[in-house]
Structures are given as C-alpha cells and as structure tokens.
Structure 1
Amino acid sequence: METLTLRPLRADDGDIAGAIFFDAVHRGAAAHYTPEQRIAWAGASPNTAGWRTMCVDVDGFMAERNGEPVGFMTLDANGYIDLAFVRSDVAGTGAGWRLYQAVEARAEDLGIARLTTDASLTARPFFERQGWTVEREQTVQKGAVALTNFKMAKRLARRP
C-alpha cells in the first residue's frame, strides 16, 4: 500500500527539489508549453546547484510517497506561493492537493489573509479547483522566449 506523507521542506532538499522541478516542467507541463519554452523555464538539463540555496530558510512542505520525495510547495511571509511542483508520475494522485492543504493551513496559522501566486498554464486549473481566481494573464520573458502565466489570488477565511 502506498503512503503519502508530508514533512517540512529542509535546507538539504535542494537537489531533489531541483529534480522534481525539472521533471514537472519538462514532462508535466509538456501539454501546455513548447520544448523551447520548457528549456527557457527550467533549462535543458537539471541544475540542482541553485536549488541548494533556494531551500535554505524557506517555509514549505515536501510530499513523500513511501519515503521518496515526489513534490513540494513553498509559502513566503506575504502569502505568496512561489514554488508548487509535483513529479509528473504523481500528478493527479492527490500529492499536490495535500501539499496545498498544508500550505493553506500554515498561512492561516500565520494570520495571512490572502494568498497569491503566478500560476502556469498547467497549474491554473489546480488552483481554480482550490477556490482561487485569476486576477490577470501575464507574459513572462525568459531571455527571448515568452511564457504565459496567471496572477492568481485567494482570500482566506478567518478562523474563530
């Protein structure tokens, strides 16, 4: 039986976070972005060096299936979800939903009233299913390559 567990994102998660990101962009987002766009977004090969520093002093969670990392999501002090990625082979299995529920609960615990993100074409439907709304469509330039994403937001209900 497969078990999905969550744990806090750790400083030493950089390599695996980079690998998950690379897979999520190159395989998971393949239906929405061209190969050129995916290379501009995530590089032509995994680059874990930058991810090692990204995972230091970040608030977020790592999802593990039977002890193997399969996805992660981050939250900053202003309620911005910067990174939300799951491996392509676990997309649609509930790992992203579990990560999101943990991040939203963390935001509520911190007293954050509004969450925001810049969602990809791939992530937009996921966030909409969680009650988010699109504020505007955006075009992001990565060198000479344009990528479409969406500024999205969700107001959180105050707990009594």
Structure 2
Amino acid sequence: MARGNGLTEKHVVGLARLQAKEHVLVLGPGPGVGLIAAAEYAGIVVGVDPSDTMLLAARHNCGELVEAGKVQLIRGDAADTHQPDQSAHVVLSVNNIQLWEDRQAAYAEIRRVMKPGARLVISVHQKWQPAGIAAELADAGFTTVSSTTWEPPSRRTTTAAIYQANK
C-alpha cells in the first residue's frame, strides 16, 4: 500500500493546502504515509481505519507522532468515524472509496464532521473508481465539486481520479 498509494497520498495532502492549526481527518490511512505527510502541516491528524492490521502498521510508522499527540488512530470507517460534529477542517481519502459499503452514509458522516467551509479531497485509482462520484457528492450536499486526474511519476502507480469539494 505504501508503494502503490504513497505518492498519491503526498499529492492529495498538497492539494488540501493544510494549515498549521487545522484538524485533518484521514479515512483509511493504511500504513500511515498520508498521516505523516499531513502531520508536517496540520495541527492534528486523525486516521480512521476499519482494519486492525492497518492501524498497527500506521502506529508502527507514526509512533513518534502518536506519542507527541500530533496523530491519533481510531478504529472506524467512513460511515462511522467516531469524530465530534464539525470538528474537521479537511477530510482526505486515498484509494478506499471503492471499499465503502454505503457511500451515502459515508458522505453524510463526512459532512457531519466537517466544519462549515471545510475541504474534502478523495482520490482513487482511476481503474477502480465507482461511477458517479462527482454527482453523488453534489447530491449529498457538497459544494464546488470538481474532478480531475493525476499521473503519479512512477510506473508502479496508476492514474488517480481526484475529487475535491467543500461543505
């Protein structure tokens, strides 16, 4: 995962334009590449993953950041993040939207935890992207929905479809 998604995770963090005091929620952080990248810029980064294996890998890779209180790791999923209402300035997700069992429930949860004006950046390997994500985001109440693609500078990684929106 770190090899296949790492470059895209760093790219998504760059697109999010994180600020020093922002609270960032990362859905499905896997082994923690995006958590580490986000922690360089944000105030606090919370990784929510349904996999105990991935949470252990993230804890291993982000141990110092967890100990410092800069990164928190929580077992949950996109539809149940265990985060307070309007707590996140930014929500990031790289290559896991295709695994969300109920995208509508996930969108509702994401909107619940986003502060007004918060930013959402979702990326998925283009070959695995579910159809209609941009329309689903708009229907779920997100604004300024846009989509683009990104070609990672590596032969190991495929084209990424990237969706950005605001609350």
TM-score, with structure 1 as normaliser: 0.43
Q: Which structure: larger Rg? A: 1
TM-score, with structure 2 as normaliser: 0.41
